[in-house]
Amino acid sequence: MNLGEGVQLVSFGLLTALMLGSALGVVLAQSVVYSAFLLGLTFTGMAGLYLLLNADFVAAAQILVYVGAVNVLILFGVMLVNKQMAFEKVPGLALRQATTGLVCAGLFGLLTTVALTTPWMLSTTTPAGDGAIVAIAQHLFSDFLLPFEVASVLLLMALIGAIVLARRDLLMDNSATGLSDDLELKLPERPKASLSSGGEP
């Protein structure tokens, strides 16, 4: 084993530990906001694995799309609609957690067995190198153009839904205030004089 292979092996171990730890944090964290941040860390570790596979374009897309767009959208949605509510006591919680743990352990054992018993074959084809970006772009904007546009529309709908849910509680009740429909959609604002003086409105 030369120096390059050793560096790749150590990097693979560190990235794998980072991904597993952050993925467990996503599931086990008590705060949803912390889970969203740890999800971004998981996506970042996955981008590092793509770099080890010489897939630089896929790694950059992983950072831009998942970390920079999807994870930020999740964070915005969580911070806009998250409310501090006390969790009600769930009957049989210990049994449910034990059952979930057994199912997850079974799936992990099954995937580990498949990974260890599968005769993996290394590809003998010539790497595309910098031409991979051109090949991916041709497929993305020709064969997979419709799924690409549908995914963008779904993300836009999720963003609009988060904004609507966040504004719903701020809208004044027309029946309670007796205001017209035009005034109902105006959110209450603090007067500028009270803000500058530091007093209450």
Long-range contacts of 82-90 (CB under 8 A, 24+ apart): 82/32, 82/33
Q: Which residue has the higher pLDDT, 192 or 153?
A: 153
Average pLDDT over the chain, rounded to an integer: 78
Residue 41 pLDDT: 92
pLDDT greater than 90 at residue 128: no
pLDDT greater than 60 at residue 58: yes
pLDDT greater than 80 at residue 64: yes
Per-residue pLDDT band at 184 (split at 50, 70, 90): very low
d(CA 27, CA 35): 7
pLDDT greater than 50 at residue 135: yes
Q: Please report, for the chain, the start and end positions of each structural domain, with discontinuous segments joined by +.
A: 1-83, 129-187
Residue 102 pLDDT: 95
User: Residue range 164-185: average pLDDT?
Assistant: 54
Residue 143 pLDDT: 87
The answer regarding whether domain 1-83 maps to CATH 1.20.120.1200 reads: yes
pLDDT greater than 70 at residue 117: yes
Q: Which of 24-33, 69-78, 104-113 has the highest mean pLDDT?
A: 104-113
pLDDT greater than 70 at residue 168: no
